[in-house]
C-alpha cells in the first residue's frame, strides 16, 4: 500500500469522527427562541442626526432640572475649573504659574482655548489610554496577561493622539489577531482586549466583555439562566458567544522562554449552550447579535468576528454610541445617566435618558469623534458648575452640580509627583519578570496598587482604606520629600518666600491648585507661630494638605 493510500485510509476514521461531532459542524439541534426580545434602538428613533452644541446640552439639562425641581449650582471659579479640567483630561495638577496666568487672563474664551490645548496634548492621550487599559484589565488576574497591558496602553495612546474614530478603534480590537510579544506588546496592542480573557471560559468572557465594555450592557448573568431582572435569555448570551467559537489563544515559546501570547483562529468548532441538567451535553448556538440578526452559519473565525464588529458599531446601533457617551459623561461629571456605567439596557432606569439619546446621536453624527464629544461636554455650563454632594449617597444630583469623586490611582500618583517631584521607592526600581516592571518605582507600584479601582465602579462605592491612609501618612519616601531640606519643594518655597503668608499661599497653590481661604490662612499662620520652628511647621502643613480629602478628590 502506498503512502498516499495509507494516509487516506487512516484519515477516514478521523473524518468520520469529526462528522459525527455535532458542535464542530453545527448539525446538532438548535434551540427554540420563544420569548426572546431583540435589542431595541427606540431611544434615538426620529432624533435629528446632527451634532449638539454645548448651549443645546445646557438647555436640555435645564429642562430636566426644572421638571425635577432642582436648582443648578453656581459656576466654578477659574482656579476650580483649571484643576478639574486638567485632572479630567491629563490626570495632572496645574502648576502655580499656570494658575496665576489663567486667573489673570481676561479673555472670555480662555476656558474653551484651554480645553483645546489640553485635548491636543500628549498627556490627554496618555491619561485616557490608561483609563481604557484599566477598564479592560480591572478584572484580569492572570499575570502574563497583565504583562502586555502596557502594550495595549501604548497602542491606545497612539489611537487617541491621532483622534481615530471610536468605531474604528473598537472594530480593530474585535477583529485583532496574531502575536503580542512580552518585549514589544505595543506592536499588536489591539489584540489585548481578546487576549485578556484566557482559559476554558474565554469564549464566554469575551462575549460578556464585548457587551459590557462596548454596549454598556451586562448580559453575563444570562450565561447560566435567563436574566432575573432584565430581558436577556440564555440563548441570547450563547449566540453572542458563538462569534468567538473559533477564536483561541496560546502562549508562544522561543526555545524554553515564553516570548508572548498569540490570538489564533481554528478552522472548525461551534459554541454550545450547555444543558442545565447535563453540562456535557448542549445545543449549538450559531452567532447572532442581540438585535436578532446574524451572519450565515459556519463562517471562519475572522469573518464571524468581522461580522460581530460591524454589528457592534453599526450606525443603527444606539447602544454603541450611548455606552461611550455614558462612560465619558460619568467620568467628567462624577455621575452618569445610567449607573453603573456598564449596566445599561432597555429595561434599566436612567436619569434624563432623553439627554443621553441626544448626545449619542450627536456622537454618531460627528463620526464617533471622541475629542468632539469631550469638547462639547467640557464647554457646557453643566460641566463647569461647582461640586455638590447629594443629601444621601443614593441621591442623584440630576447634573445640577458636579459630583466630587476620588481620583483614580494614576492621577493620585501623578499629583504626588507634580507636588513633590521625582519619587523613587526604597530599593530603587521595582523588579519583575517583565521588562516594563523595572521602569516603575516601588512606591509607584504601591500607590497604584492601593488606589487602583475598576473604572466601571459606581462613584459612591469607591471608598478610602486604612492601607491607603497609612501609606500617605507614613511612607518614608513621601515623608523625606516633604521635609524642608536640600532641593526639596518646601525648602525652595521657604527660601523664595520669607513672608509666611506668601509661603502658605504657594504651598496651597502647589498642592490644592488654589489659594487658601482667609480662615485657612489664619489657622496656618497661627500654627507656624505656635510651633516656633518655621521649617517643621510648614512640613506639617504640607503633610496635612497631601493627606486631605480635597487633594485626593476631583471637585
Task: Give the model's pLDDT for residue 33.
Answer: 66
Task: Give the model's pLDDT for residue 205.
Answer: 97
546 prior amide bond cis, ω within 30: no
CA distance 283 to 29: 6
Full DSSP string of 356-395: HHHHHHHHHHTTS-HHHHHHHHHTSTTTTBPB---SSTT-
Integer Rg of the chain from CA: 27
Ranges of residues in the chain with a pLDDT under 50 are 1-30, 426-440
- Cell 452640580 sits at which residue? 401
pTM higher than the cut 0.85: yes
Residue 351 CB coordination number (10 Å): 17
Task: Give the model's pLDDT for residue 5.
Answer: 38
123 contacts 148 by C-beta, under 8 angstroms: no
- Edge-to-edge strand order for the sheet containing 247-254? 178-181, 257-265, 247-254
Give residue limits of the domains in the chain.
41-75+318-401, 77-120, 124-312, 409-554
**Is domain 409-554 annotated with CATH 1.25.40?**
no
Task: Give the model's pLDDT for residue 32.
Answer: 54
Task: Report residue 269 as a C-alpha cell.
Answer: 468548532
CA distance 151 to 147: 8
Full DSSP string of 242-282: GGGTTEEEEEEEETTEEEEEEEEE-SS---EEE-SS-TT-E
CA distance 535 to 532: 9
Amino acid at each position: 500500500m502506498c503512502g498516499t493510500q495509507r494516509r487516506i485510509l487512516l484519515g477516514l476514521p478521523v473524518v468520520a469522527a469529526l462528522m459525527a461531532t455535532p458542535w464542530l459542524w453545527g448539525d446538532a439541534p438548535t434551540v427554540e427562541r420563544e420569548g426572546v426580545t431583540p435589542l431595541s434602538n427606540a431611544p434615538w428613533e426620529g432624533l435629528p442626526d446632527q451634532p449638539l452644541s454645548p448651549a443645546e446640552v445646557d438647555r436640555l439639562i435645564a429642562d430636566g432640572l426644572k421638571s425635577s425641581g432642582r436648582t443648578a449650582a453656581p459656576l466654578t471659579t477659574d482656579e476650580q475649573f483649571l484643576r478639574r479640567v486638567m485632572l479630567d483630561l491629563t490626570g495632572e495638577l496645574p502648576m502655580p504659574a499656570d494658575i496665576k496666568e489663567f486667573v489673570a487672563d481676561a479673555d472670555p474664551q480662555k476656558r474653551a482655548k484651554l480645553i483645546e490645548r489640553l485635548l491636543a496634548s500628549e498627556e490627554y492621550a496618555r491619561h485616557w489610554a490608561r483609563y481604557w487599559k484599566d477598564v479592560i484589565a480591572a478584572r484580569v488576574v492572570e499575570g502574563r496577561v497583565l504583562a502586555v497591558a502596557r502594550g495595549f496602553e501604548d497602542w491606545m495612546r497612539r489611537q487617541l493622539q491621532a483622534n481615530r474614530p471610536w468605531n474604528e478603534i473598537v472594530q480593530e480590537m474585535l477583529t485583532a489577531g496574531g502575536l503580542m510579544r512580552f518585549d514589544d506588546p505595543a506592536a499588536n496592542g489591539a489584540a489585548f482586549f481578546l487576549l485578556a480573557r484566557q482559559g476554558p471560559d474565554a469564549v464566554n468572557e469575551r462575549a460578556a466583555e464585548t457587551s459590557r465594555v462596548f454596549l454598556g450592557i451586562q448580559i453575563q448573568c444570562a450565561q447560566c439562566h435567563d436574566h432575573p431582572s432584565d430581558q436577556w435569555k440564555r440563548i441570547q448570551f450563547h449566540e453572542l458567544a458563538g462569534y468567538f467559537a473559533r477564536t483561541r489563544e496560546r502562549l508562544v515559546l522561543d526555545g524554553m522562554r515564553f516570548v508572548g501570547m498569540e490570538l489564533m483562529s481554528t478552522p472548525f468548532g461551534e459554541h454550545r449552550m450547555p444543558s442545565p441538567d447535563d453540562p456535557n451535553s448542549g445545543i449549538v448556538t450559531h452567532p447572532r447579535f442581540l438585535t436578532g440578526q446574524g451572519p450565515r452559519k459556519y463562517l471562519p473565525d475572522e469573518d464571524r468576528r468581522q461580522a460581530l464588529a460591524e454589528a457592534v458599531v453599526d450606525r443603527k446601533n444606539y447602544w454603541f454610541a450611548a455606552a461611550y457617551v455614558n462612560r465619558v459623561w460619568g467620568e467628567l461629571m462624577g455621575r452618569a445617566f445610567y449607573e453603573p456605567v456598564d449596566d445599561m439596557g432597555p429595561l434599566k432606569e436612567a436619569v434624563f435618558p432623553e439627554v443621553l439619546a441626544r448626545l449619542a446621536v450627536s456622537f454618531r453624527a460627528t463620526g464617533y469623534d471622541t475629542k468632539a464629544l469631550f469638547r462639547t461636554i467640557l464647554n457646557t455650563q453643566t460641566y463647569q458648575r461647582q461640586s455638590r454632594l447629594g443629601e444621601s449617597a443614593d441621591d442623584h444630583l440630576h447634573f445640577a452640580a458636579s459630583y466630587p469623586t476620588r481620583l483614580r490611582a494614576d492621577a493620585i500618583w501623578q499629583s504626588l509627583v507634580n507636588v513633590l517631584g521625582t519619587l523613587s521607592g526604597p530599593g530603587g526600581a521595582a523588579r519583575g519578570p517583565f521588562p516594563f516592571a523595572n521602569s516603575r518605582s516601588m512606591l509607584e507600584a504601591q500607590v497604584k496598587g492601593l488606589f487602583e479601582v475598576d473604572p466601571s465602579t459606581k462613584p459612591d462605592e469607591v471608598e478610602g482604606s486604612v492601607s491607603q491612609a497609612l501609606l500617605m501618612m507614613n511612607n518614608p519616601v513621601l515623608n523625606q520629600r516633604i521635609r524642608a531640606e536640600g532641593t526639596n519643594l518646601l525648602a525652595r518655597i521657604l527660601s523664595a518666600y520669607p513672608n509666611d503668608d506668601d509661603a502658605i499661599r504657594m504651598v496651597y497653590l502647589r498642592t490644592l491648585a488654589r489659594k487658601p481661604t482667609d480662615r485657612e490662612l489664619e489657622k496656618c499662620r497661627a500654627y507656624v507661630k505656635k510651633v516656633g520652628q518655621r521649617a517643621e511647621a510648614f512640613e506639617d502643613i504640607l503633610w496635612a494638605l497631601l493627606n486631605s480629602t480635597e487633594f485626593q478628590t476631583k471637585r
